[in-house]
């Protein structure tokens, strides 16, 4: 059964446009409360990133939860994986994150975690949507939910991140630049990396409500690249607005993307005889990663794009390492969801243990040239049934033959058609990608 509100990763959109409005979030808080109140007493945790609308939606959700008789613990600015961790360790009924992840400040959204610290299953999302269609009621005053602030939330999560690596690993001598995207990790990531011994230069850690992800962070790492060169750092770490995405930069100022980072972590686990199951990627995962893993005797299994689908296959195949080239990296042997800080620590640990630079570690995987272009759309379009687009796809596939891949898909979080072409020859790849973009524009 399709869902009206929930996408691949919660609910997201422009602030002030339905359903990202205070009245809907009030009702949403009440609906969440109705679902979890049925399971008995317990609290719901509520965190947010640093965008200005978070205050407004936090109040609306808190009021709705209270009306349903559910107690709330307010975490303040907290990375998405931090909310997942606290939901699990505090045995809360659910965790809620107010965030639009890597989107600009004028967007916002909501994500949910179960008491196990994982994304909500479909049946609970269906239940929440059911109550959104019902008239809102309020419990008797004596049963109203109470809201309290959890003052040590950041400290708890900092300690958890540090515990994700062996205590004997010493990061002294490493100079790193950390880009917090003016987001939810601004008061956490610098402490984590400093407390494990690294020399830390921090950038984009002064949120003002509207500068989240603005020309910084995992989606725009140009400032990080420049800072790594300027400070002669060993590497750079870029997180996104809610801290669940990671991109790194080596000492030469070159990007190290999610595929390369997953390969580094997987190879390190394999060398330590600690790699369980296959590595899970997505339809967008670079062919170079698949071939590099194959040489090590490790299988790559591709999921649909989205960390929810990666997680589903990780559980199915008993895998502990998976993620996306965009930087969502899941280390299930360490945590329950994608976590940028935890993933970065695993890479840093391998840099120290191996004695190799990040540049050397990433060079052990040969990436195929890949072009990813976006076409903005006003209305939904069925890619599979559009003759103009399908003819263009067939022509591109014929041109690439067995030396590349073509993938067109609709974004699950933005009004975009994503066009990906990958192959051995960079010029051919770029040409075919532009031809496909032209075909999509013609079709719409």
DSSP H helix total and E strand total for the chain:
14, 18
Backbone angles phi, psi at 308, to 5 degrees: -60, -45
Which residues does 48 contact at the CB level (< 8 Å), separation at least 6?
54, 57, 58, 75, 76, 77, 78, 97, 98, 99, 184
Cα(180)–Cα(339) distance, integer angstroms: 13
Per the residue annotation, which of 53, 101, 164, 319 is the catalytic one? 101
> Per the structure block, which two tokens stand in for 175?
């100079």
Phi first, then psi: give them for residue 30, nearest 5 degrees: -65, -40
User: Would residue 101 show up in a list of annotated catalytic residues for this protein?
Assistant: yes
- Tell me how far CA of residue 83 lies from CA of 189, 263, 387, 406, in angstroms: 15, 27, 44, 36
Asked if residues 11 and 20 have their Cβ atoms less than 8 Å apart, the reply is yes
Cis check: omega of the bond before 30, within 30 degrees of 0? no
Q: CB under 8 Å to 197, separation ≥6 — which residues?
A: 170, 171, 172, 174
Tokens of 85: 């961790």
Positive or negative, the CA dihedral 228, 229, 235, 241 is positive
The strand ranges marked E within 143-191 are 147-149, 175-179
User: Residue 98 phi/psi, 5° resolution?
Assistant: -90, 105
Axis-axis angle for helices 122-132, 22-37 (nearest 10): 120
Q: Which residues are catalytic?
A: 101
């Amino acid at each position: 059964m399709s869902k009206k509100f929930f996408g691949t990763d919660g609910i997201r959109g422009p602030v002030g446009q339905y359903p990202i409005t205070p009245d809907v979030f009030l009702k949403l808080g009440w609906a969440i409360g109705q679902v979890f109140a049925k399971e008995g007493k317990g609290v719901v945790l509520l965190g947010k990133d640093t965008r200005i609308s978070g205050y407004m939606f936090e109040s609306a959700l808190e009021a709705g939860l209270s009306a349903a008789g559910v107690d709330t613990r307010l975490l303040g600015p907290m990375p998405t994986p931090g909310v997942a961790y606290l939901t699990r360790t505090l045995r809360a009924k659910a965790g809620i994150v107010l965030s639009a992840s890597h989107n600009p400040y004028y967007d916002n959204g909501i994500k949910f975690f179960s008491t196990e610290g994982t994304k909500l299953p479909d049946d609970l999302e269906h239940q929440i949507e059911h109550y959104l269609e019902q008239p809102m009621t309020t419990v008797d005053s004596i049963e109203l939910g109470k809201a309290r602030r959890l003052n040590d939330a950041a400290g708890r999560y900092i300690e958890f991140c540090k515990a994700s690596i062996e205590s004997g690993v010493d990061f002294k001598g490493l100079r790193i630049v950390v880009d917090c995207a003016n987001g939810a990790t601004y008061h956490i990531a610098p402490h984590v990396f400093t407390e494990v011994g690294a020399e830390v230069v921090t950038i984009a850690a002064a949120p003002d409500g509207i500068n989240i992800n603005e020309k910084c962070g995992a989606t725009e790492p140009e400032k990080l690249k420049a800072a790594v060169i300027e400070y002669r750092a060993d590497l750079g770490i870029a997180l996104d607005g809610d801290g669940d995405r990671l991109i790194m930069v080596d000492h030469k100022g070159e990007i190290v993307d999610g595929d390369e980072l997953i390969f580094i972590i997987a190879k390190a686990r394999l060398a330590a005889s600690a790699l369980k199951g296959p590595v899970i990627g997505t339809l967008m995962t670079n062919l170079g990663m698949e071939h590099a893993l194959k040489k090590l005797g490790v299988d790559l299994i591709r999921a649909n794009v989205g960390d929810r689908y990666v997680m589903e296959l990780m559980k199915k195949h008993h895998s502990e390492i998976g993620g996306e080239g965009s930087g969502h990296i899941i280390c299930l042997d360490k945590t329950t969801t994608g976590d940028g800080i935890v993933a970065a620590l695993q890479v840093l640990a391998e840099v120290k243990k191996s004695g190799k630079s990040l540049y050397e570690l990433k060079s052990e995987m040969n990436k195929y040239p890949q072009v990813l272009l976006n076409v903005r759309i006003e209305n939904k379009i069925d890619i599979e049934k559009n003759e103009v687009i399908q003819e263009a796809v067939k022509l591109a596939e014929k041109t690439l033959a067995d030396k590349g891949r073509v993938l067109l898909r609709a974004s699950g979080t933005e009004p975009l058609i994503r066009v990906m072409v990958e192959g051995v020859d960079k010029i051919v790849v770029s040409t075919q990608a532009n031809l496909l973009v032209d075909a999509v524009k013609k079709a719409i």
